Structure 1
Amino acid sequence: MITPPPAAWLDAEGDALLAFARGAATDLGFGTLDDAGTVPDPARAELWITCRMTHVFALAALRGRPGAAELADHGVAALTTTFADAEHGGWFTAVEQGPDGPRPAGEAGGRKGAYPHAFVLLAAASATAAARPGAADLLARARAVSTTRFWDDEAGMVRESFDRTFTEPEDYRGVNANMHTVEAYLAVADVTGEDLWLDRALRITRRVVDGEARAHGWRLPEHFTPGWRPLLEYNRDQPAHPFRPFGATVGHWLEWARLTLELRAALAARGRDPEPWTLEAPRALVEGAAREGWAVDGADGFVYTVDFAGAPVVRQRMHWVVCEAIGAAAALHAATGEEAYADWYRTWWDYARRHLIEAPGRWHHELAPDNTPAAGTWSGRPDVYHAYQATLLPRLPLAPALAPALAAGLLEG
């Protein structure tokens, strides 16, 4: 185990994050939290937020945290009923409270996206590992939807999104949705024991990391045509877009590094020989993020995006990027034992404690380039998914996935 911070501090911060997150529960599922920890609009809920909160409370339930099991059950129930499209299958992107009950929140709310559907898989897998009622059935439904609607076997990737009826695909492909699909597939593989999900995670990761990231000097393109041709100018006029920003997103280099190492460990755990790039690429991605993203403009912190020459584009500091840096550094230290990664781990936790954590459990989600609170891309403190995982990842093995590892009692400290 890497220190600091010590396990007792990580436990205390994790519990504080859970206490803050409890305010997200609404009649519809889980809402987006503001700075005070309340939901400004309880009559609307987003699928990705509800899924991420369900995942977090399932992890907490596995740790025996009071009230967490009930909140995980609340999320499973919302995903089974409120968000589920009984007519066309899949889950609505957003729902609102209508005069006759919950309904899709406008035209966009009825769309079906790979990004939030990946989180349905993750939430269902984690809740299943926690033995929550209804979770196994939810996971079976989510696996079927992922296979029949989103998985593109020819490309070895997932399609981005569809209309409500799954008949009109979006003329776009994205790496972000595929990244979280890898995260979910790794969890599903461990919970079900089905290697199909691990094989799919490997195909996605090989194409994205060993293919596209390597081909672009480890500055990973995010946006593609339906034929998977990079769109390097995509959203140049919206550089700070929260989900599809222009350029290369530094935090995703870090997230892909960790996921690749987790994939590597999952393959090894099944007696399969991991390919050499599964260690080479995470090193290159983390080193690139540290070189081109960390403290490159006179102050500590990671810039949000860079262009394909490595120059900063959006210089805001996002809390989730530091959380993923912590996880990536811990993963590389676990994989290699090299002290340099432990040094980065300590540096990035120190930054989080100095600049991001306003009080226990209360993380600023965005900072300006001078590390003062900001809200240009994100407002409020929408959820605790990244921060809560940062309190667990350094104390768990690289495989199995978080929830199965907690269920097996593998948490150190």
Structure 2
Amino acid sequence: MTERTTSLGRSEVAGAMRAEADRLLDFALASRVEHGFGWLDESGRVTDRPLELWLTCRMTHVAALGLLGGRAEFAELVDHGVHALSGAFHDLTHGGWFASIDSGQPVDDRKQAYPHAFVLLAASSAVVAGRPGAAELLSLARQVHEEHFWVGSKNLVQESFSADWSSSEPYLGVNATMHTVEAFLAVHDVTGEPHYLDRAEAMTLQVARWARARDWRIPEHFDEDGRVMPDYNRERPADPFRPFGATVGHGLEWSRLALSVRASRMQASASYNGDELVTAATELADRAVADGWAVDGADGFVYTTDWDGHPVVRARMHWVVCEAIGAAYALGLVTGEKRWGDSLLTWWRYAERYLIDTDHGSWHHELDEHNLVSHGTWVGKPDVYHALQICLFVGDALPLAPSFATALAERMATERATR
């Protein structure tokens, strides 16, 4: 399949999305607190709750994207994030990073794969931005991940450990694996080391094959031996990180990531084809849209379905629409099919109508089945990671590879060279 470009109707949305990226960055400025970045409420005020490692990492990454996109005031925020990850969040005794802290002290001292993937992402983005201490942080993060999290025999990551790494959770999750793929692509762009791309591809193909066997619904939860647990968290179907059933938004997010893996491979090897990844990306997105979009009488994507595609949690999460827009953009670039441009426009208009908060900033993180603001799973507007990435992706017409920070840095270098 020959990669080709299409306008995707981007003339209708690109300017609006680039302007929205700046609004999101403005909102993010308020999240800085003494030991990292805090959880923001609906009005953009920091809430009184412990600081989460994943959140501080994602906002450090966001700050790096802001800086690389031309917002010089974000240099200080990148440095603040690197300092927090090198300081209060870092376990000097056992290594790795605490899951959460309060007043600079650990509240949850477990070592979790999901936020450790974001340590890799934040550190790599800070390296691209040329910030002090970033290279040392990335080196340490790579070492910790290599020693503890990567499970090569299963093409997954170990979910979590006790503080001293002596015991591990008898669970393997696709959510943490997905964000490790994202992080590995970014680290590959920074280091050039091929095994990160090899592993990202292996994880993506593994998940695609599991999904193909289940009519392209992704099994999310596995026991420690790699056996699927289809009923996991049935009693907690709206869990923010491990919901029961098939997670519609993950089908869309994996679709985009699959095409980024393929694009990275094509850059590394002129003979690489990657048709299996294009097929997987298309099937995953088609299944997610068929199961999730406007299936219960109102526009919006439901959060989860059962294994037959029936809605379980009908709340509309903002990140799912973001990933739908990203998948549509990526599939449009690769396939040239007009339907993806049409879908992108539909989903952006939905975001404009229901999700983007023009009064207080950022996007409402959760709506109910009637598209009214709700808080069943997410309270407030914790961060701007999903929305910012997609607004930059489409608004700046970024390529599928390299990853966001490197792509912005390359664009900045090109612009400087042509002035």
* Common fold by TM > 0.5: yes
What secondary structure does 1:33 align onto? coil
Counterparts of 2:143 and 2:284, CA distance in 1? 33
Equivalence for 1:297: 296
CA contact (8 A) 1:329 1:341 kept: yes
Question: Once superposed, which parts of structure 1, at least 4 consecutive aligned residues long, lie more than 3 Å away?
Answer: 4-7, 410-413
CA contact (8 A) 1:219 1:248 kept: yes
Equivalence for 2:221: 223
Equivalence for 1:14: 21
Deviation at 1:337?
1.2
Equivalence for 1:67: 73
What amino acid maps onto 2:398 in structure 1? L
Matches within 5 A, 1:25-44: 25-41=32-48, 44=50
Equivalence for 1:398: 400
Equivalence for 2:308: 309
Given the alignment of the two structures, is residue 350 of structure 1 paired with residue 371 of structure 2, yes or no? no
What secondary structure does 2:274 align onto? coil
What amino acid maps onto 1:264 in structure 2? R
Equivalence for 1:86: 92
CA contact (8 A) 2:173 2:220 kept: yes
Aligned residues between the structures: 404
Deviation at 1:7?
3.2
CA contact (8 A) 1:396 1:410 kept: no
Counterparts of 1:302 and 1:273, CA distance in 2? 34
Deviation at 1:67?
1.2
What secondary structure does 1:257 align onto? helix
Structure number with greater CO (CA < 8 Å, separation at least 6) is 2
Given the alignment of the two structures, is residue 387 of structure 1 paired with residue 394 of structure 2, yes or no? no
Equivalence for 2:240: 242
Given the alignment of the two structures, is residue 365 of structure 1 paired with residue 388 of structure 2, yes or no? no
Deviation at 1:158?
0.8
Q: Structure 1 residues 274, 165: CA separation in 2 closer, same or farther (over 3 Å shift)?
A: farther
Q: Structure 1 residues 411, 307: CA separation in 2 closer, same or farther (over 3 Å shift)?
A: farther
Q: Structure 1 residues 236, 412: CA separation in 2 closer, same or farther (over 3 Å shift)?
A: farther
Deviation at 1:6?
3.7
What secondary structure does 1:95 align onto? strand
CA contact (8 A) 2:188 2:197 kept: yes
CA contact (8 A) 2:362 2:384 kept: no
What amino acid maps onto 2:239 in structure 1? H
Deviation at 1:39?
1.0
Counterparts of 1:5 and 1:112, CA distance in 2? 44
Counterparts of 1:144 and 1:54, CA distance in 2? 20
Counterparts of 1:307 and 1:4, CA distance in 2? 38
What amino acid maps onto 1:232 in structure 2? P
Deviation at 1:203?
1.2
Counterparts of 1:288 and 1:384, CA distance in 2? 26
Counterparts of 1:64 and 1:154, CA distance in 2? 42
What amino acid maps onto 1:338 in structure 2? E
Counterparts of 2:236 and 2:102, CA distance in 1? 27
What secondary structure does 1:358 align onto? coil
The Cα offsets for residues 342-377 of structure 1, whole Å up to 9 and x where unpaired, read as: 011111101000110121732110001010110011
Equivalence for 2:333: 334
Deviation at 1:411?
11
CA contact (8 A) 1:23 1:38 kept: yes
What secondary structure does 1:313 align onto? strand
Given the alignment of the two structures, is residue 252 of structure 1 paired with residue 259 of structure 2, yes or no? no
What amino acid maps onto 1:16 in structure 2? R
Counterparts of 1:365 and 1:165, CA distance in 2? 34
Counterparts of 2:188 and 2:362, CA distance in 1? 33
Counterparts of 1:383 and 1:182, CA distance in 2? 21
Deviation at 1:406?
0.5
What amino acid maps onto 2:240 in structure 1? P
Identity across matched positions, percent: 54
Deviation at 1:208?
0.9
Deviation at 1:4?
4.8
Q: Which runs of 5+ in 1 are unaligned?
A: none
What secondary structure does 1:186 align onto? helix
The Cα offsets for residues 136-180 of structure 1, whole Å up to 9 and x where unpaired, read as: 110111111111110112222211000001110101010000000
Equivalence for 1:202: 201
CA contact (8 A) 2:13 2:345 kept: no
What amino acid maps onto 1:322 in structure 2? V
Q: Structure 1 residues 5, 162: CA separation in 2 closer, same or farther (over 3 Å shift)?
A: farther
Counterparts of 1:411 and 1:283, CA distance in 2? 33
Counterparts of 2:35 and 2:48, CA distance in 1? 11
Deviation at 1:289?
1.1
Matches within 5 A, 1:255-294: 255-271=253-269, 273-294=272-293
Counterparts of 1:4 and 1:88, CA distance in 2? 52
What secondary structure does 1:359 align onto? coil
What amino acid maps onto 2:324 in structure 1? A
Counterparts of 1:162 and 1:170, CA distance in 2? 6
What amino acid maps onto 1:29 in structure 2? G
Counterparts of 1:5 and 1:249, CA distance in 2? 30
Deviation at 1:95?
0.6
Counterparts of 2:331 and 2:338, CA distance in 1? 10
Moved more, 238-247 or 148-157: 148-157
Counterparts of 2:66 and 2:349, CA distance in 1? 24
What secondary structure does 1:67 align onto? helix
Counterparts of 2:238 and 2:12, CA distance in 1? 32
What secondary structure does 2:313 align onto? coil
What secondary structure does 2:51 align onto? strand
Deviation at 1:5?
4.1
Deviation at 1:275?
3.3
CA contact (8 A) 1:397 1:410 kept: no
Equivalence for 1:187: 186
What secondary structure does 2:186 align onto? helix
